[in-house]
Structure 1
Amino acid sequence: MSAAPSPALALTMGEPAGIGPDITLAAWLLRNERDLPAFFVTGDAGLLRARAAHLGLSVPVAECSPEDAGRHFHAALPVVPAGPPAAAAPGRPDASSAPAARAAIDTAVSLVQAGRAGAVVTNPISKAVLYAAGFTFPGHTEYLAHLCGEPAPRPVMMIWSPELAVVPATIHVALAEVPHLFTQELLVETALIVARDLERRFGIASPRLAVCGLNPHAGEEGTLGVEDEIVTRPAVESLRRAGIDARGPLPADTLFHPAARAGYDVAIGAYHDQVLAPVKALAFDRAVNVTLGLPFVRTSPDHGTAFDIAGTGRADPSSLIEALRLARRLAGRDAARAEGQPAAELAFDGPPA
């Protein structure tokens, strides 16, 4: 008896006034050329039809159930209705934006938790728009963890690309707050989640972790700041005692050239820009945001809403395409593991297959 088809991926509409609708339509048009997995959009079908007309794109939109998405996918963009209608024009968020964006996320997560979607892929949201509407979470990542219920899992943001994978230990916080938040406990917990998911979801048998120092030159043994001697070095030693292949503290300014990148599977930095700047410089259009630590697969394009180019036809769907393709691979590994079957390692030395 043949196996049942894998559930389609749930792609959230994202901020209605941003480029999420644009790149969604563009990705669907490239579905055959780029061998994309079947996906459906959670959100407002009317807004997607209007954006397609605005952009002059011939994209039929079919409202359907998650189970029927695969049947519709090759002829039309499947949409599972979620939340209130979205009335925002490209580049101009309005009062309908936040409720529509949040409902799209809620629906996608509920469907993947129910086994009706294979993974969640999220289009960009505007935190400023959500904050103005009473959203109290720092961002997508923390909200997704909240939706998992209590106790909420500890989510970790990894930016993955064929050239480089990175994790910031602290994420969306002011730089002045980093030294107070950067603790041994945080670093060890983050690294353990990274190592576990690289092994479990990416199939890397013994992940190699390179841990950046907080200070220039990793503190020069305390002469350029004591944090790396009292936080980073003891944390790495603790990880090594736990059997994790971790090295550090390492100077961030020499960690991202090709020869150095060949020596590790992921670089863990102390703060956001320390590791996101290198990966975006190397792979801006191919980098994918992957949330580790969740009970389901979540990926996202590694860019924002780009209000300035929404509705112009200039938005590049490349990062969304890679997010969809990576989600398929990770969800496939989850399914294979659940069935006790082997699955290939996800290598970091080339584009996703």
Structure 2
Amino acid sequence: MNRPYIGIPMGDPAGIGPEIVVKALNEKSIYEICKPVVIGDRHVIEQAINFCSLNLSVNLTENAALGRYEAGVIDLIDLDNVDLSELKIGEVQALGGKAAFEYIEKSIDMANLGEVDAIATTPINKESLKAANINFIGHTEILADLTNIQDPLTMFEVRNMRVFFLSRHVSLRKACDMVTEERLLDYIIRCTEALKRLGIDEGVMAVAGLNPHSGEHGLFGNEEVTDVEPAITQAQALGYKVVGPIGADSVFHLALQGKFNSVLSLYHDQGHIATKTLDFERTIAITNGLPFLRTSVDHGTAFDIAGTGKASEISMVEAIRLAAKYSHSFKKEH
């Protein structure tokens, strides 16, 4: 099987993004499964190589197809948009936010043109984006806007457990209000289709309960009775393989044991806590519903350790591996 091209925007240049990218691409095994091309700034990448004391060289290329893709060499599309004399490592600044946005923008252009088969993104900083007058709160919102896709799906994968989210960055009170029969049915359908695009069409999806023990038939919370159960019943009648609601204190454990192919978490922290407690560094985000496959580390810019070479590359390695793992199935289904 041909190695897929994976685009890697290097993230906020003041954060750990450049460091985890060069560390990940120091792994020879990455080149056995894909052709990784970094979208970033040459001076920042070379600085990160020095921070991490790595023996790597940089190969500048204008197109992914022209890269060398061999261990010891980082293929880079250089946007040349960072002045190192102005860059303040580990600090919120407009320069970092603007540069990070431009790397994402270029990566999306490449994916839309078919120059890369998937993108694996690195950390960006919301405050730096704001300082640069870029009014997005995160990657998902940027991706949705730049691809004209409404409400893309977020899925986490860690080990053999996959978790979708009915809501993301909203208050807990609003998240509860979003647990409606209509929205749940829509998400069950869309999540099932998203799994198929990744080549996963076997198994059953589980819907987590919202209230403790799924409300015990209305004893302490009736959302399961009024909305969750009716949505699942409708989905089953339409032929979708889904069960629930299953108490959140057990459903993730059961999924990890292989009983379910995925879990639909009903709010942000419900699924985040389950996955990140299991293995924080190997919890990888996959954005479904876009015209291309996108995976991502699920940690921040870690300004407190940026520039020290201490940042772990494990999440970055896993994000690249997942992008390579699913890219062929996604491209075929899409």
TM range (shorter): over 0.9
1:223 corresponds in structure 2 to: 219
Instruction: Tell me the distance in 2 between the aligned counterparts of 1:46 and 1:275.
Output: 38
2:112 alignment counterpart: 113
How far 1:123 moved relative to its partner? 0.4
The equivalences for 1:148-187 within 5 A come to 148-149=147-148, 152-187=149-184
| Per-residue deviation, 1:6 | 5.3
Cα deviation 1:277-331 (Å, max 9, x = unaligned): 1111112222210001111110011222111222222211111111111111211
Q: In 2, distance between residues paired with 1:133 and 1:305?
A: 16
What do the CA deviations read for 1:75-119 (whole angstroms, capped 9, x no partner)? 421111236225433312322111100000000000010011111
CA RMSD of aligned residues (A): 2.1
Equivalent residue, structure 2, for 1:132: 131
Q: Does 1:282 align with 2:282?
A: no
* CA separation of 1:8 and 1:206: change in aligned 2, threshold 3 A: closer
Q: 1:128-179 CA distances to partner (integer Å, 9 max, x unpaired)?
A: 2213333333321121121113xx2431100012231111211111212212
Give the corresponding residue for 2:232.
236
1:78 aligns with 2:78: no
Q: In the superposition, relative to structure 1, how do residues 314 and 54 fare at CA in structure 2: closer, same or farther (>3 Å)?
A: closer
Summarize the Cα distance change of 1:233–1:15 in structure 2 as closer, same or farther, 3 Å threshold.
Answer: same
- List aligned pairs for 1:1-353, cutoff 5 A: 8-32=5-29, 35-82=32-79, 84-85=81-82, 87=84, 88-149=87-148, 152-201=149-198, 203-257=199-253, 261-337=257-333
* Conserved 8 A contact 2:254-2:260: no
Unaligned runs of 5+ in 2: none
Call closer, same or farther: CA 1:129–1:67 in 2, change over 3 Å: closer
Per-residue deviation at 1:335?
4.0
In 2, are the aligned partners of 1:38 and 1:69 still within 8 Å (CA)? no
Matched-pair contact (CA < 8 Å) for 1:124–1:305:
yes
Contact 1:254 1:260 in 2 (8 A): no
Unmatched tracts of structure 1, length 5 or more: 339-353
- Residues 194-213 of structure 1 deviation map (CA, whole Å, 9 limit, x = unaligned): 10121222x22244111011
Number of residues of Structure 1 aligned to a counterpart in Structure 2: 332
Distance 1:312 1:193 in 2: 42
Quote the Cα distance in structure 1 between the aligned partners of 2:320 and 2:225.
40
Please tell me whether the aligned partners of residues 16 and 93 of structure 1 are also in contact (alpha carbons under 8 angstroms). Answer: no
TM-score (norm 1): 0.87
* AA matched with 1:55: C
Question: Structure 2: how far apart are the matches of 1:128 and 1:120?
Answer: 23
Counterpart residue type for residue 60 of structure 2: E
From the superposition, tell whether residues 6 and 272 of structure 1 become closer, same or farther in structure 2 (CA, over 3 Å).
same
CA contact under 8 A between 2:48 and 2:309: conserved in structure 1? Answer: no
**TM-score (normalizing by structure 2):** 0.92
The superposition leaves residues 234-255 of structure 1 with CA deviations (integer Å, 9 ceiling, x where unpaired) of: 1111211221111111110122
| Segment drifting more, 72-81 vs 208-217 | 72-81
Identity level (%): 33
**Structure 1: 4+ residue segments shifted above 3 A:** 32-36, 67-70, 72-75, 258-261, 334-338
Distance 1:238 1:252 in 2: 21
> AA paired with 1:311?
G
Q: Tell whether the 8 Å contact from 2:90 to 2:306 is kept in structure 1 after alignment.
A: yes
SS in structure 2 at match of 1:309:
coil
